[in-house]
Amino acid sequence: MGRYIQPRLRLSAIIPTHDRPEMLYRCLETLRTQGIDPARLEVVVVDDGSASDIQAIVNAAAGGPFPMHCERQQLTGLNAARNRGASVASGDILAFLDDDTLVSEGWATALLSAFEEHPCAGVGGRVDLQLRAPAPEWLGDRRDYLAEYNLGAESRWIEGDPWADGDPVPVGANCAVRRSDFDRMGGFYVGLDRIAGSLVSNGDTEFFRRLRASGGKLWYEAEARVVHCIPAGRLTIRYFTRRHYAQGMSDQLLLALEGEAPTWGRRYRLVRELGHAVKILGNDLARGRGAVDANFWASYWAGRLCASGKKTRQASERHSWT
């Protein structure tokens, strides 16, 4: 079989933001240094109801080789902002970045090459972490809760079910999709993601699971690398307790959206899991060991229980949980 060659494509980098002007400016500065034909890249910032003047930040960063413009919407949430950016973007490829990422110089070239050389519907780029404080001992394999995404140094197909020991699907901090497939899928599910200070997530997971279920193939591109900047406040037990609780809610909402009915039997099993976690927490506190792990586990299952039985859209749009 010959090598897959796609005609030259154009990339739209879409960056949702909410009241983080300094971080956004640093991200935009790294996009200005992309070593690519200026006709092949545009930058779209979507201001999701910020109190700060995001338009001024975009104006200050503009003036480089690539066009940058800002769209403003009322506070609606991350997925709505992603969809808004896609609606005004002109590229064949829609790439999504978090506003607290720093983009490597070869990012745009690597993404476009991946779509031009492989018959993929979506691409996950590598996300490394830049921690602004020492990593706590308990962080361990929880780095994915900070949006780390690293499937190795070699680019390859993303395979298997992430909930059955397969590869994780791309994360919203650094991912891309063909416009034709984005339109075919109807975009991101509004409500299953963060609004202002909420920690509810899984909008990116739901989209790429749905895309792959429809027949779209996913590619991991190691050279499309970004650095995700993590402030010290996210490396605390308090933050990770909230994060685990929100992840439990997010996972339960995603299961409901994908068709798992909120039966009383399932809720009973969740209560049992939560009770087991609380028991472990009590034992570990009494023995002076492992209290952090048990606390995180209990928080996660408490979130699962809280979200069970709720209608997905109504529950995910409530951002007062966390």
| pLDDT tens, position by position, 148-159 | 999 999 999 999
Residue 222 near residue 151, CB atoms below 8 Å: yes
**Distance of alpha carbon 154 from alpha carbon 49, whole angstroms:** 39
For 35-76, write each residue's pLDDT tens digit.
Answer: 999 999 999 999 999 999 999 999 999 988 999 999 999 999
Q: What is the pLDDT of residue 316?
A: 43
Alpha helices by DSSP H, 44-154: 54-61, 78-88, 107-117
Rounded to the nearest integer, the mean pLDDT of the chain is 88
The DSSP H or E segment spanning 29 is helix 21-31
Phi and psi of 178, rounded to 5°? -65, 140
Residue 11 near residue 112, CB atoms below 8 Å: yes
CB atoms under 10 Å from CB of 227, counted, come to: 18
DSSP structure class, residue 134: P
Does residue 20 share a domain with residue 125? yes
For 10-23, write each residue's pLDDT tens digit.
Answer: 999 999 999 999 99
**What letters, b where the CB count within 10 A reaches 16 and e where it falls short, cover 111-135?**
bbbbbeebebbbbbbbbbbebeeee
Query: Rounded to whole angstroms, what are the CA distances from 31 to 1, 176, 280, 283?
Result: 36, 15, 47, 50
CB atoms under 10 Å from CB of 84, counted, come to: 21
Does residue 241 share a domain with residue 99? no
The two tokens of residue 225 are 């690398």
Query: Looking up tokens 């790439």, which residue turns up?
Result: 95
- 114: in domain: yes
- 251: in domain: yes
Q: How confident is the model at residue 249 (pLDDT cuts 50, 70, 90)?
A: very high
Q: How confident is the model at residue 314 (pLDDT cuts 50, 70, 90)?
A: very low
Q: What is the pLDDT of residue 259?
A: 75
The two tokens of residue 102 are 């720093």
**Last residue of a domain, which of 189, 217, 234?**
234
Return the ∠ at Cα 294 (arms to 292 and 300), rounded to 5°.
105
Q: What is the pLDDT of residue 161?
A: 78
CB atoms under 10 Å from CB of 272, counted, come to: 11
Which CATH number goes with the domain that contains 221? Answer: 3.90.550.10
**Residue-by-residue DSSP string for 206-257:** HHHHHHHHTT--EEEEEEEEEEEEE-GGGSSHHHHHHHHHHHHHHHHHHHHH
**Last residue of a domain, which of 201, 234, 267?**
234
Closest CA to 156 of 218, 213, 98: 218
Domain holding 284, by residue range, is: 237-316
Average pLDDT over residues 102-129: 97
* Helix, strand, coil share of the chain (percent; to 5): 45, 20, 35
**Distance of alpha carbon 39 from alpha carbon 81, whole angstroms:** 24
The two tokens of residue 156 are 């390859």
Alpha-carbon torsion angle 36, 228, 207, 87, nearest 10? -50
- 280: in domain: yes
Does residue 158 share a domain with residue 133? yes
Q: Say how many domains are in the chain.
A: 2
Does residue 101 share a domain with residue 74? yes
Is residue 260 scored above 80 in pLDDT? no
Is residue 28 scored above 90 in pLDDT? yes
Is residue 322 scored above 50 in pLDDT? no
The DSSP H or E segment spanning 70 is strand 68-73
Residue 64 near residue 40, CB atoms below 8 Å: no
For 187-220, write each residue's pLDDT tens digit.
Answer: 999 988 888 788 999 999 999 999 999 999 999 9
Q: What is the pLDDT of residue 119?
A: 96
Does residue 247 share a domain with residue 196? no
Higher pLDDT, 107 or 3: 107
Alpha-carbon torsion angle 164, 208, 242, 274, nearest 10? -30
